Amino acid sequence: MKNKSLLLSAVLMLVLSIVLAACGGDKKAGDSGNKNDKNGSDYGIKFLSIATGGTGGTYYPLGGNFANMIKDATGVEANATTSGASAENMTLIQKGEAEVAFTQTDIATYANEGTMMFNGKKVDNINGLGTLYPETIQIVTTAKSGIKSVADLKGKTVSVGEAGSGTLANAEQILEMYDLTVDDLKARNLSFDDSTTGIQDGTIHAAFITAGTPTGAVEGLAATEDVVIVPLESDKIDALIEKYPYYAKETIPSGTYGADADLETVAVQAMLVVSSELTDDLVYEMTKAIFENTDKIGHAKGKLIKAENALDGMAIELHPGAKKYFDEKGISAE
């Protein structure tokens, strides 16, 4: 009888231990879901989606670098996803389908104001994290096309960027300086990769590509074709900047895509925007991770990404977390 009593006590103690362990385990799992694995900070989010662009552009490889930096600094899982780039990315944040996004400064302005392609569809939940580098407007063709100026694009089959993209807006504004519209072209709405493939196989004559140089898709084309970047005349550049002041003069240096001379064109700034719903602490750590680890960016544009330039062209409200970082560094908008 005594042995049975001892056995029953042992069984009860074991059951009680299992129950207590289970309760403790549940609590720990719950804490792990809310708190960051790296330093215990509560960022209120476990996963970040970074909207980039097509695989042939500059946003996508940079997005992969930034995702790794953010994860290393915060412990929050981050992933770079492909998209239709600038304009689509603003909509993705508006819908809550992305928390971080690459875009152009002009597109962020349109989204914030509810103008241009965002007419009546203002995006009111975006904040700036920082500007990155010039986004060069490149009108890409080949020597065999015979296209030497923007005027020569009339009647030609030309990719003007994906529908609703920043590239399309740039194409429309540049064509305007030459008294042309997309209706004067046989316009196609293609991604960067599809644009360069189309030039290579002869289905299109030229393509507008707005991206940091060198652009992967164009480098790929230059490996098999004699690539030509169509220049913009000085007076057209001046007129464009006067009407649309978010543009700036930009030089594509000789050697890019095999060119033997510098080429004058225009650029807007690439930037990162974030959802205004992200916590200040998280955005502070994200901003710090990116701008203090630029030497780890495995892309040529990494050399241009600097904290001291990160507020250049910032035309929308800065996220408080990013502002805290730049204030600590003594960096302010001009």
- Which residues, in sequence order, are CB contacts of 144 under 8 Å at separation 6+? 225, 226
For the chain, give every domain's residue range.
Answer: 47-132+271-328, 135-268
Contact in structure between 266 and 250 (CB atoms under 8 Å): yes
Per-residue pLDDT, 38: 53
Per-residue pLDDT, 166: 82
Q: What is the DSSP letter of 163?
A: T
Per-residue pLDDT, 2: 45
**What's domain 135-268's superfamily in CATH?**
Periplasmic binding protein-like II (3.40.190.10)
Phi and psi, residue 139, nearest 5°: -100, 105
Topology alike, domains 47-132+271-328 and 135-268: yes
pTM over the 0.95 mark = no
Tell me which residue of 219, 221, 167 sits closest to 198, measured CA to CA: 221
Phi-psi region of 252 (alpha: psi -120 to 50; beta: other; left: phi over 0): beta
Contact in structure between 82 and 97 (CB atoms under 8 Å): no
Per-residue pLDDT, 35: 52
| pLDDT means over runs of 10, the chain (334 residues) | 48 45 37 47 91 89 97 97 92 97 93 93 97 94 97 98 86 97 97 95 96 89 96 96 87 94 94 98 98 92 93 90 98 80
Q: How far apart are CA 187 and CA 201, in angstroms?
A: 17
Q: In the CATH scheme, what is the code of domain 47-132+271-328?
A: 3.40.190.10
At what angle are helices 166-177 and 105-113 packed, to 10 degrees? 100
Per-residue pLDDT, 214: 87
Residue corresponding to tokens 């652009």:
215
Per-residue pLDDT, 9: 53
Per-residue pLDDT, 334: 61
